[in-house]
Amino acid sequence: MAIERVFTQPGPDEERFLTSLRPQRLDECVGQEVVREQLRIALDAARKRGEPLDHVLLDGPPGLGKTTLAHVIATEMGAAVRVTSGPAIARQGDLMMMLTQLDTGDVLFIDEVHRLAKVVEEFLYPALEDFRVDYTTESGIGGRTVNFALKRFTMVGATTRAGMLSAALRDRFGLLFHLQYYTEPELVRIVERNAALLKIQADPAALARLASRSRGTPRIVNRLLRRVRDYADVRGDGTLTPSVVDMALDILQIDRLGLDNLDRAYLQSLIKHYDGGPAGIEAIAATMGHERDTLEDVVEPYLLQIGFVIRTPRGRVARPAAYEHLGLATPKRAKDEPGLFD
Q: Which residues are catalytic?
A: 66-67, 111, 160, 219
At how many degrees (to 10) do helices 218-235 and 242-251 cross? Answer: 100
The whole-angstrom separation of Cα 194 and Cα 211 is 12
Exposed, middle or buried, 10 (CB in 10 Å: 0-12/13-18/19+)?
A: middle
Specify the DSSP element, H or E, that contains 249. Answer: helix 242-251
Return the DSSP state at 134: E
Query: Nearest to residue 166, comparing CAs of 63, 292, 57?
Result: 57
Q: Cβ(222)–Cβ(194) under 8 Å? A: yes
Specify the DSSP element, H or E, that contains 329. Answer: none
The whole-angstrom separation of Cα 110 and Cα 125 is 14
Q: Which three-class secondary structure state does DSSP give residue 139?
A: coil
